[in-house]
Structure 1
Amino acid sequence: MKKSLLKIALVFTVLLVGSNAFAQDFQGKAYYMSKTTMDLDEFGGRDMSPERKKQIQERMKSFLEKVYILTFNKEESIYKEDEKLEAPGGGGRGFGGFGSSLTGGPKYKNVKTKELIQDQEFFGKQFLIKDELKNLEWKMGTETKQIGNYTCFKATATKTVDEFDFRSFRPRGRGNDEKKDEEKAKDSTKSGDETSKSDNPMDEIEVPKTIEVVAWYTPQIPINQGPGDYWGLPGLILEINADRTTILCTKIVLNPEEKEDIDKPTKGDEVTQAEYNEIITKKMEEMREMYGGRGGRGGRGGGRRN
Structure 2
Amino acid sequence: MRLKSTFKSLTIALVMVITANSFAQDSFQGQAIYMSKTTVDMESFGGRDMSPERKKAITERMKSMLEKTFILDFNKTESTYKEDEALESPGGGRGFRFGGMTSAGTVYKNVKDNQLLQDQEFFGKQFLIKDSLTTFEWKMSGESKQIGQYTCFKATATKKVDAADWTNMRRRGGKDGRQDNDKKDTAEAKQDSTKVKGDKDPFENIEIPEEVEVTAWYTMSIPVNSGPGEYWGLPGLILEVNSGRTTILCTKIVLNPADKDEIKKPTKGKEISQEDYQATVKKKMEEMREMFRSRGGRGGRGRN
Q: 2:69 aligns with which of 55, 67, 70?
A: 67
> Based on CA coordinates, which of the two structures has the bigger radius of gyration?
2
Tell whether the 8 Å contact from 1:107 to 1:119 is kept in structure 2 after alignment. Answer: yes
Tell whether the 8 Å contact from 2:29 to 2:73 is kept in structure 1 after alignment. Answer: yes
- Larger relative contact order (CA 8 Å, sep ≥ 6): 1
Tell whether the 8 Å contact from 1:59 to 1:89 is kept in structure 2 after alignment. Answer: no
Structure 1 distance, partners of 2:257, 2:91, is 34
Structure 2 distance, partners of 1:221, 1:31, is 15
Decide whether aligned partners of structure 1 residues 177 and 75 sit closer, same or farther in structure 2, where only a CA change above 3 A counts.
closer
Tell whether the 8 Å contact from 2:34 to 2:71 is kept in structure 1 after alignment. Answer: yes
Tell me the alpha carbon deviations over residues 234-270 of structure 1, each in whole angstroms, 9 at most, x when there is no partner: 1100011122211100001111111111111111000
Q: How many residues align?
A: 282
Root-mean-square deviation (Å): 2.8
- Matching of residue 249 in structure 1 with residue 263 in structure 2: no
Structure 2 distance, partners of 1:244, 1:217, is 20
Structure 2 distance, partners of 1:48, 1:88, is 27
**TM-score normalised by structure 2 residue count:** 0.83
- More deviation in 179-188 or 261-270? 179-188
Decide whether aligned partners of structure 1 residues 172 and 67 sit closer, same or farther in structure 2, where only a CA change above 3 A counts.
same
Decide whether aligned partners of structure 1 residues 178 and 48 sit closer, same or farther in structure 2, where only a CA change above 3 A counts.
closer
For 2:222, the aligned partner's letter is I
Tell whether the 8 Å contact from 2:218 to 2:234 is kept in structure 1 after alignment. Answer: yes
Structure 2 distance, partners of 1:156, 1:283, is 32
Query: Unaligned regions of 5+ residues in structure 1, if any?
Result: 1-12, 300-306
Structure 1 distance, partners of 2:232, 2:95, is 27
For 1:63, the aligned partner's letter is M
**TM-score normalised by structure 1 residue count:** 0.82
- Matching of residue 215 in structure 1 with residue 187 in structure 2: no
- More deviation in 201-210 or 120-129? 201-210
User: 1:215 Cα shift?
Assistant: 1.1
Match of 1:126 in 2: 126
User: 1:21 Cα shift?
Assistant: 4.0
Structure 1 distance, partners of 2:167, 2:55, is 19
- Matching of residue 48 in structure 1 with residue 50 in structure 2: yes
Tell whether the 8 Å contact from 1:19 to 1:222 is kept in structure 2 after alignment. Answer: no
Decide whether aligned partners of structure 1 residues 204 and 118 sit closer, same or farther in structure 2, where only a CA change above 3 A counts.
farther
Structure 1 distance, partners of 2:127, 2:216, is 30
User: 1:199 Cα shift?
Assistant: 5.9
User: 1:202 Cα shift?
Assistant: 4.1
Match of 2:4 in 1: none
Tell whether the 8 Å contact from 2:170 to 2:176 is kept in structure 1 after alignment. Answer: no
Decide whether aligned partners of structure 1 residues 269 and 67 sit closer, same or farther in structure 2, where only a CA change above 3 A counts.
same
Tell whether the 8 Å contact from 1:59 to 1:90 is kept in structure 2 after alignment. Answer: no
Tell me the alpha carbon deviations over residues 176-205 of structure 1, each in whole angstroms, 9 at most, x when there is no partner: 863232121133235247489986544443
Q: Secondary structure at the match of 1:297?
A: coil
Tell me the alpha carbon deviations over residues 13-46 of structure 1, each in whole angstroms, 9 at most, x when there is no partner: 9xx8654441112111100011111121343212
Tell me the alpha carbon deviations over residues 59-97 of structure 1, each in whole angstroms, 9 at most, x when there is no partner: 221222111110000000000011334257899757443
User: 1:295 Cα shift?
Assistant: 2.5
Q: Secondary structure at the match of 1:55?
A: helix
Identity %: 61
Q: Secondary structure at the match of 2:105?
A: coil
